[in-house]
Amino acid sequence: MTANLNQLKITKPDDWHLHIRDAEIMKAVLPATYRWASRAIIMPNLVPPIVTGADALSYAGRIKNSIESGAEFEPLLTLYLTQNTKAEDVVESYQQGIIKAVKLYPAGATTNSQNGVADIKKVYPVLAAMSEASIPLLIHGEATDPQIDIFDREAVFIEQILEPLRRELPDLRIVMEHITTKQAASYVLNESRNLGATITPHHLVLNRNVMLAGGIRPHYYCLPILKRESHRLALIDAAIKGDKRFFLGTDSAPHLDGAKIDVCGCAGVFNATFAVEILAQLFDNLGALNNLEGFVSLHGADFYKLPYNKEKLTLFKSNTALEMPKTLQTEVGNITLFDPLMPVYWQILE
Ligand code: NCD
Ligand code: ZN
């Protein structure tokens, strides 16, 4: 990294948790990511989900065909774990380089998770094989018992599912995806091996008031849901100190406006477009710009045992705040961009 007060040159970042969907939406949203990221862990919760190595291979082909010529971007595929997942398929797909990880969605926890895992004990044999082969398990860490309050689901998941799983399979490498609570941050901080966590830009810059106070704002509704301010501060503390266990996963999750603004609107924030600019501004506001590169470009690669990107990304601090467009138009409808509700002066030098 080289830096002066108004310019910052860092290793080109990666996004360790990204939803790009498929077909027209994928074509429309992909450039928002490869403008600043070299690689991204691609979430498998399509309809139908990416459940086999063959599915992942064909999805990778569709992604590569959607990338404009001249653009460089490496999609890192994942498999969606179901109670029918075959350990051999997982291990083979990983060893052939088709996938980089497996995603665990507790059944019913979030968008398109109905094919996920209802009983974690049933997939322990697959998880044991993954542990043996050193394949990362990416976890959507929310309890699904409808009795549990939505704001408590992450903390309960850690106690009821994650901690027993870690005791059973201590060598399994796990990423707690999009952590949102001080319980999750401190759980990761107390573990010295085989555990990392992604954190999203929106959970770092906003709390639940923006979604609920003074009117309901469906574009801030995501899962795990935004939490209270004390949790946001715990996430900031985890992200900005240079701790290798924490890295960027935008969880950019585009939905057409019609699906967001509905009597039962769906969860997901489309934040890929200005994720790095927003984080640069946040880290700058907190006097932590020196640790931006670790969070967005280095720690995730270390966890996944991948080389750092050779390309660089230069950011500069403009005198005027970035004007962010409000929507992305696609052939099938509009998608509203994430608004961080703060001025962002950092910009990418194109
Ligand atoms: C994601 C989606 O829309 O696919 N939604 C979200 O709110 N984050 C699913 C997920 O990551 O939970
Ligand atoms: Zn996600």
At 176, give phi and psi (nearest 5°): -80, 115
Cα 93 to Cα 87: distance, rounded to the nearest angstrom: 10
What is residue 234's predicted lDDT score, i.e. its pLDDT? 98
Q: Computed over its alpha carbons, how large is the radius of gyration of the chain?
A: 19
Cα 280 to Cα 217: distance, rounded to the nearest angstrom: 25
253 lines ligand 1 (CB under 6 A): yes
1: confidence class by pLDDT, cuts 50, 70, 90:
confident
205: confidence class by pLDDT, cuts 50, 70, 90:
very high
Ligand nearest to the CA of 198: 2
Atom of ligand 1 nearest to the CA of 17: 11
Count other Cβ atoms within 10 Å, centred on residue 342: 12
The answer to whether 225 and 208 have CB atoms below 8 angstroms apart is yes
Give residue for tokens 């599915």.
55
140 lines ligand 1 (CB under 6 A): yes
Strand partners, 80: 103
Cα 217 to Cα 208: distance, rounded to the nearest angstrom: 10
The whole model's pTM is what? 0.98
Ligand 1 centroid to residue 348 C-alpha, Å? 27
pLDDT tens figures, 115-148: 999 999 999 999 999 999 999 999 999 999 999 9
Amino acid sitting at position 20: I
SS3 for 80?
Answer: strand
Q: Which of these, 250, 231, 256, 245, lies nearest to 302 by C-alpha position?
A: 245
Residue 215 buriedness (CB in 10 A; 0-12 / 13-18 / 19+): exposed
Cα 236 to Cα 50: distance, rounded to the nearest angstrom: 33
**Dihedral (Cα; 80, 86, 87, 90), 10-degree rounding:** -50
Count other Cβ atoms within 10 Å, centred on residue 99: 29
The share of the chain scoring above pLDDT 90, in percent, equals 97
Helix locations, 215-346, DSSP H:
229-240, 257-260, 275-285, 292-293, 299-304
111: confidence class by pLDDT, cuts 50, 70, 90:
confident
Cα 138 to Cα 12: distance, rounded to the nearest angstrom: 23
What is residue 314's predicted lDDT score, i.e. its pLDDT? 98
SS3 for 50?
Answer: coil
What is residue 252's predicted lDDT score, i.e. its pLDDT? 99
Q: Is the pLDDT at 3 greater than 90, yes or no?
A: no
What is residue 213's predicted lDDT score, i.e. its pLDDT? 98
335 lines ligand 1 (CB under 6 A): no
Looking only at the bridges linking them, the beta strands covering 312-317 and 7-11 are antiparallel
SS3 for 194?
Answer: coil
Tokens of 215: 């009117």
316 HSE (CA, 13 A, CB side): 5
pLDDT tens figures, 26-67: 999 999 999 999 999 999 999 999 999 999 999 999 999 999
| Mean pLDDT over the full length of the chain | 97
249: confidence class by pLDDT, cuts 50, 70, 90:
very high
The answer to whether 46 and 76 have CB atoms below 8 angstroms apart is no
251 a catalytic residue: yes
138 lines ligand 1 (CB under 6 A): no
Helix locations, the chain, DSSP H:
23-34, 53-66, 87-95, 124-133, 153-157, 163-168, 182-189, 201-205, 209-212, 229-240, 257-260, 275-285, 292-293, 299-304
What is residue 42's predicted lDDT score, i.e. its pLDDT? 99
Cα 320 to Cα 179: distance, rounded to the nearest angstrom: 32
Give residue for tokens 């007060």.
5
2: confidence class by pLDDT, cuts 50, 70, 90:
confident
Cα 326 to Cα 67: distance, rounded to the nearest angstrom: 23
111 lines ligand 1 (CB under 6 A): yes
What is residue 5's predicted lDDT score, i.e. its pLDDT? 76
Atom of ligand 1 nearest to the CA of 19: 4
| Residue of the CA atom closest to atom 5 of ligand 1 | 268
Ligand 1 centroid to residue 45 C-alpha, Å? 9
What is residue 279's predicted lDDT score, i.e. its pLDDT? 99
The active-site residue out of 89, 251, 284, 339 is 251
What is residue 40's predicted lDDT score, i.e. its pLDDT? 99
pLDDT tens figures, 125-134: 999 999 999 9
What is residue 224's predicted lDDT score, i.e. its pLDDT? 98
Residue 118 buriedness (CB in 10 A; 0-12 / 13-18 / 19+): middle
Q: Could you give the domains of the chain? A: 12-310 (3.20.20.140)
Residue 311 buriedness (CB in 10 A; 0-12 / 13-18 / 19+): exposed
